[in-house]
Amino acid sequence: MKNVLVLCTGNSCRSQMAHGYLKHFAKERATIYSAGIETHGLNQQAVAIMKQDGIDISSHTSNHVDEYAAIDFDFIITVCDHANENCPFIPSENAVRLHQNFKDPSKVEGSEEEVQKTFKTTRNEIKAWCEKFVNDNL
């Protein structure tokens, strides 16, 4: 079984959505972890938009990357430029490191409709990327 770490800045939104989809698509082929270089708590709009697609991430927690220092990862995936540029050293020598920046929907300002549209767009982009990653790598 492969160990996969999804990393973003606050482990509240994008990495949580990716965690949910990777777990969904990988099933028993991988153990999925998500973390941040900071912790911002679970974003409730991310929870809601994932629930609309049948993925429950409501029990996820916001974790700091240092909590997983002892795990040997096969893949480390950064989902935002900030985490990719500021990620601390993770001692998984043989890990394949991948980066895919997704727009942070929690930073969008505007009407509730505009915010929801951005969350849905980001969710769908993450879903497509995660499905391809699992099909290609696990």
Catalytically annotated residue among 46, 83, 87, 134: 87
What are 79-113's pLDDT values in tens digits? 999 888 887 778 788 999 999 999 999 999 999 99
What's the total number of domains in the chain? Answer: 1
- DSSP state string for 59-89: T----BGGGGTT---SEEEE-SHHHHHHPPP
What are 14-43's pLDDT values in tens digits? 999 999 999 999 999 999 999 999 999 999
- Domain boundaries, position 113: 2-137
Q: How far apart are CA 106 and CA 96, in angstroms?
A: 28
Catalytically annotated residue among 5, 7, 8, 18: 8
pLDDT at 30: 98
Establish whether 13 is a catalytic residue.
Answer: no
The residues that bridge with 35 in the sheet, in sequence order, are: 7
Q: How far apart are CA 3 and CA 35, in angstroms?
A: 13
Q: What is the CATH number of the domain that holds 91?
A: 3.40.50.2300
Helix intervals (H) in the chain: 14-26, 44-51, 81-86, 112-137
What are 51-82's pLDDT values in tens digits? 999 999 999 999 999 999 899 999 999 999 98
Establish whether 130 is a catalytic residue.
Answer: no
